[in-house]
Amino acid sequence: MKIRPLLLLALCYSQFAMAHVTLEQTSAPAGSYQKLTFKVGHGCESSGTHTLTVTLPDGVQGAKPMPKAGWKLDTVIVALATPYTSHGKTISSDVREITWSGGLLPDAYYDEFSMQVKLPETEGKLYFKVTQLCEKGRLDWIEIPKDGQNRKELKAPAPMLNLEGKSMPAEHQH
Ligand SMILES: [Cu+2]
């Protein structure tokens, strides 16, 4: 039974490491339509979350947030340097930021925030910077690992998605 405090400590540590704000999906085909779900595992210290902002990396197209009961939605739309074509129309501005606000997620509870996006065509790692505002304090999940650095070593890593090689044409999967 002497092993117990140690075990408890290890358990707490791993729970903390896994909490954060993370993406449910770890990888997806480049250029595909995907549902992305951001998981909020805890508040700021013990304070509840009332706002979550996700910044979409360049190349993510046509983002549509999923409404949540009790939360207000706002999007920031910016002009694109390189317009693209979707459904036969030229798209010259697109959603770059999505904010859910006005709700309250107590630190003791867990919730998820989802959106549909079309992913960039290029393979590689995609980072989504997230800001979490709480009744007291804020957390910025914006750290991106430098070359050779392990993401797990970061205090506040940005949620990451691995874009893999395309398996089939992505047109109209949505
Ligand atoms: Cu955490």
Give the pLDDT score at 14. 42
45 CA distance to ligand 1 centroid (A)? 9
Rounded percentage of the chain residues whose pLDDT exceeds 90: 79
Q: Dump pLDDT digits (tens) for 95-147.
A: 999 999 999 999 999 999 999 999 999 999 999 999 999 999 999 999 999 98
Ligand 1 centroid–CA 49 distance in Å is: 13
CA 129 to ligand 1 center in whole angstroms: 15
pLDDT, position 3: 52
pTM of this prediction?
0.85
pLDDT, position 11: 43
Q: What is the 3-state secondary structure (H, E, C) of the chain?
A: CCCHHHHHHHHHHHHHHHCCEEECCCEEECCCEEEEEEEECCCECCECEEEEEEECCCCCEEEEECCCCCCEEEEEEEEEEEEEEECCEEEEEEEEEEEEEEEEECCCCCEEEEEEEECCCCCEEEECEEEEEECCCEEEECECCCCCCCHHHCCCECCEEEEECCCCCCCCCC
Residues lining ion ligand 1 (Cβ < 5 A) are 19-20
**Cα-to-centroid distance, 159 and ligand 1 (Å):** 12
How many angstroms separate the alpha carbon of residue 128 from the centre of ligand 1? Answer: 16
Task: List, in order of start, the domains of the chain with CATH numbers.
Answer: 20-164 (2.60.40.2230)
